[in-house]
A and B are shown apart, each in its own frame.
Chain A
Amino acid sequence: MPDGEDRSVSEHETSPPAEDDDEKLIAAFARGSTEAFGILFARYRQPVYGFFCRRVTDRSIAEELAQETFLAILRAQDRYEATALFRTYLYAIALRILRSYRRKAAFRAIFSGTMPADHDPADAGASGNELVLRDAVRRLDRIDREVLLLREFEELSYAEISTVLGIPLNTVRSRLFRARAALRDLLETSPARTRAGLSKLEEQA
């Protein structure tokens, strides 16, 4: 069992308070301050891990991708330019790594013939409502889902989402509304709400 599997947290609650803002810390890191990176890592370790946990089905892969994200920031230390908020920069990297993983996994699936699992075995501990929620989110359109997750869990502003996904601001707003409406409908009408549907999801989990 991975560490901390039995505990569930809201990642932003665990962020340690820091005196400096992210931009000052990344600037200090770009100048060679390892301590600054340490603070940033402590602050975003849980959010980045959560970002991947909600998007891939295997927690070990989520951990690996989170690690890769921080390593990418480490490697790009001297190339960082303060053109956007650090948060935007971080999630843009995370999203790029996620897409790369999905591309490779899909390509591998062609030849291996095995499809990626729909559910993480570690979801066994999840509640029924949570399983239904995950299933509903999974049913959303891909970009709508991404916009919704970035807004609800990464707490990015509309402008930040627009930058990270590379879509216009108005599109972010309309897609977010559409995603929320679709999710609400799915939650209200999903067969998973029924006992049979819920049992099926729990069996899969």
Chain B
Amino acid sequence: MNTLEHPVAPDEIMAMLDEELSSAERQAVLKHIEHCAECATMRLRLEGTARSLAEWRVAVAPESLSRELERAAAARPYKASKARRRFIGTAWATGGLLAAILTLAVIGVHAPFESHKTPQRTLAYLTPGAPAPTTENLLVAPTRADRFKGSLDDLRASPNKASIGGGGGAPPEAVAQPQAAPMIARQVSLTILVKDIPQARTVLDGILSSHAGYAATMNVSTPESGSPSIVASLRIPAAQLEAALAHLRTLGHVEGESQSGEEVTEQHADLVARLQNARESEDRLRAILAHRTGKMDEVLQVEEQIGETRGAIEQMEAQQKALEHLVDYASVDLQLTEQYEARFTGQPTTIGTQLRNSLVTGIGNAGSSLLGLALVLEEFGPAILVWAGLLGFPAWIFWRRYRRAQSRL
């Protein structure tokens, strides 16, 4: 329809008949229709269609519809469900509140109790049978070991003063029993991130010398691409461990720290007792040798026995020293790692070469991906085709029937 001849669109005539236009628009359409026979015909045809549709009448709604609805309304299931929903909501809210209160109460009751229990539980394995030590006790343990060591020295000087002095066969428990202070070999593991490894190395040496410690092992690593690092096993006098650790922590950012202690009290007491017995045996053998009355063979046997006893004594003395050293010097496994900073390396290749290399790599990647796709299709394609054939046809039949049924509804 020409818009110059017909400034009013056909659907505007329809909208006018449907009373969907404003009064001004309606007036404009009516004015045009008065002078346009074509649009007047359009109006008549639209009105005719509406009249045709009016012929379509439906039956009166059956009474059963009202009855069913009245029954449903009388039952008021919606009210019941609303009340039930409200009840469920209230029940949930009350339950949640009670659970929250209960949780808070449990936390409130247990928190102080746990704070007392925890140190005992974590450190109990260090001192079985001993009074529950605190962290502070653990740290001063070497001092007590020193005192214990002193008392052992006293024991050696006057063996008759203690129970191990007489009888020559006192059980180790009897020796260890009077010693209350535990001997603990301490071990610490420390991982620190430092800014500069050479500088940290210097500071580390200073810390070791100031605390009378030493490095049992030390490995320095400076890889080409990566962070330089130092892995060292330090020995620090137990008495100065805390101070040394405090200094070590100042090297950088502590990423990990763990401490442990192994009690060697019983082991040490057992060793001391066996050593004492061996010495007494040696003394007795020497006394026998001094007042010898037997044959030469018997003398030689005593000599040989003295030699074996001496060997055992020296071995046990070495073990005792090692054990005491383990207690006197805490072991610190230290790992120092430098913060990684990427270093600028001069580009040996030109931009053109890089572009070419990238292009070659890109083409290679494209080829690889295409090959991969071809391999996947080759591997799974036949199976996909088989299943598509088996399932696709019935699915297509169902879909067609579904669409046809829908179009007829």
| Contact across chains for B48 and A133 when beta carbons are under 8 A apart | no
Chain B, 59-86, contact with A by CB distance < 8 Å: what is the 0/1 string? 1111111101100110011110110000
B253: Cβ under 8 A from any A Cβ: no
B11: Cβ under 8 A from any A Cβ: yes
A77: Cβ under 8 A from any B Cβ: yes
| Contact across chains for A9 and B405 when beta carbons are under 8 A apart | no
| Contact across chains for B59 and A5 when beta carbons are under 8 A apart | yes
| Interchain nearest-CB distance for A7 vs B (Å) | 5
A37: Cβ under 8 A from any B Cβ: yes
Chain A, 137-161, contact with B by CB distance < 8 Å: what is the 0/1 string? 1000010000010011100011000
| Interchain nearest-CB distance for B326 vs A (Å) | 77
A204: Cβ under 8 A from any B Cβ: no
Bound Cα distance from A153 to B81, whole angstroms: 35
| Contact across chains for B65 and A133 when beta carbons are under 8 A apart | no
Bound Cα distance from A183 to B409, whole angstroms: 19
> With A152-B50, A184-B45, A187-B49 given, is the CB distance from A109 to B405 under 8 Å?
yes
| Contact across chains for B78 and A66 when beta carbons are under 8 A apart | no
Nearest residue, chain A, Cβ from B46? A180
Nearest residue, chain A, Cβ from B63? A3
| Interchain nearest-CB distance for B132 vs A (Å) | 63
| Interchain nearest-CB distance for B280 vs A (Å) | 98
| Contact across chains for B52 and A7 when beta carbons are under 8 A apart | no
A195: Cβ under 8 A from any B Cβ: no
- The majority secondary structure among interface residues of chain A is helix
Given the complex, which residues of B lie within 8 Å of A177, measured CB to CB?
10-11, 14
A199: Cβ under 8 A from any B Cβ: no
B258: Cβ under 8 A from any A Cβ: no
Bound Cα distance from A9 to B57, whole angstroms: 6
Identify which of B59, B78, B401 contacts A7 (C-beta below 8 A).
B59
> With A106-B405, A109-B405, A133-B53 given, is the CB distance from A46 to B61 under 8 Å?
yes
Identify which of A49, A78, A107 contacts B78 (C-beta below 8 A).
A78
Nearest residue, chain A, Cβ from B81? A75
Instruction: State which size class the interface on B falls in.
Output: 35 or more
B287: Cβ under 8 A from any A Cβ: no
| Contact across chains for B53 and A78 when beta carbons are under 8 A apart | no
| Contact across chains for A122 and B49 when beta carbons are under 8 A apart | no
| Contact across chains for B60 and A14 when beta carbons are under 8 A apart | yes
A71: Cβ under 8 A from any B Cβ: yes
Given the complex, which residues of A lie within 8 Å of B380, measured CB to CB?
none
Given the complex, which residues of B lie within 8 Å of A50, measured CB to CB?
58, 61
A134: Cβ under 8 A from any B Cβ: yes
> With A8-B57, A45-B65 given, is the CB distance from A74 to B402 under 8 Å?
no
> With A74-B78, A115-B408, A184-B48 given, is the CB distance from A158 to B18 under 8 Å?
yes
Bound Cα distance from A160 to B58, whole angstroms: 23
Q: Looking at A134, A148, A184, which has the most chain B CB atoms within 10 Å of its CB?
A: A184
Bound Cα distance from A24 to B68, whole angstroms: 25
Given the complex, which residues of B lie within 8 Å of A127, measured CB to CB?
55
B406: Cβ under 8 A from any A Cβ: yes
| Contact across chains for A67 and B57 when beta carbons are under 8 A apart | no
Identify which of A77, A122, A130 contacts B57 (C-beta below 8 A).
A130
| Interchain nearest-CB distance for A135 vs B (Å) | 11
B232: Cβ under 8 A from any A Cβ: no
Identify which of B18, B54, B58, B407 contacts A54 (C-beta below 8 A).
B58
Size of the chain A interface, CB-CB below 8 angstroms: 68
Given the complex, which residues of B lie within 8 Å of A74, measured CB to CB?
72-73, 77-78
| Contact across chains for B59 and A2 when beta carbons are under 8 A apart | yes
B87: Cβ under 8 A from any A Cβ: no
Given the complex, which residues of A lie within 8 Å of B60, measured CB to CB?
3-4, 7-9, 14, 46
Chain B, 270-311, contact with A by CB distance < 8 Å: what is the 0/1 string? 000000000000000000000000000000000000000000
| Contact across chains for A49 and B55 when beta carbons are under 8 A apart | no
| Contact across chains for A109 and B65 when beta carbons are under 8 A apart | no
B205: Cβ under 8 A from any A Cβ: no
Bound Cα distance from A129 to B46, whole angstroms: 18
| Contact across chains for A109 and B402 when beta carbons are under 8 A apart | yes
| Contact across chains for B409 and A70 when beta carbons are under 8 A apart | no
Chain A, 21-34, contact with B by CB distance < 8 Å: what is the 0/1 string? 00000000000101
Nearest residue, chain A, Cβ from B69? A70
Q: Which residues 395-409 of B sit at the A interface, judged by CB distance below 8 A?
A: 398, 401-409
| Interchain nearest-CB distance for B400 vs A (Å) | 9
Identify which of A34, A130, A180 contacts B56 (C-beta below 8 A).
A130
Given the complex, which residues of B lie within 8 Å of A148, measured CB to CB?
53
Identify which of B59, B68, B78 contacts A53 (C-beta below 8 A).
B59
> With A7-B60, A109-B401, A109-B402 given, is the CB distance from A133 to B409 under 8 Å?
no
| Interchain nearest-CB distance for B394 vs A (Å) | 10
| Contact across chains for B52 and A49 when beta carbons are under 8 A apart | no
| Contact across chains for A45 and B58 when beta carbons are under 8 A apart | no
Q: Which residues 5-48 of B sit at the A interface, judged by CB distance below 8 A?
A: 10-11, 14-15, 18, 20, 45-46, 48
| Contact across chains for B59 and A122 when beta carbons are under 8 A apart | yes
User: What 4 A-B pairs have minimum CB-CB distances, sorted nearest first?
Assistant: A4-B60, A109-B405, A49-B61, A3-B62
Interface residues of B (CB under 8 A from A): 10-11, 14-15, 18, 20, 45-46, 48-50, 52-66, 68-69, 72-73, 76-79, 81-82, 398, 401-409
Could you jot down 10 A-B contacts, CB within 8 Å?
A8-B57, A49-B65, A53-B59, A78-B82, A101-B409, A115-B408, A158-B15, A158-B20, A173-B11, A180-B14
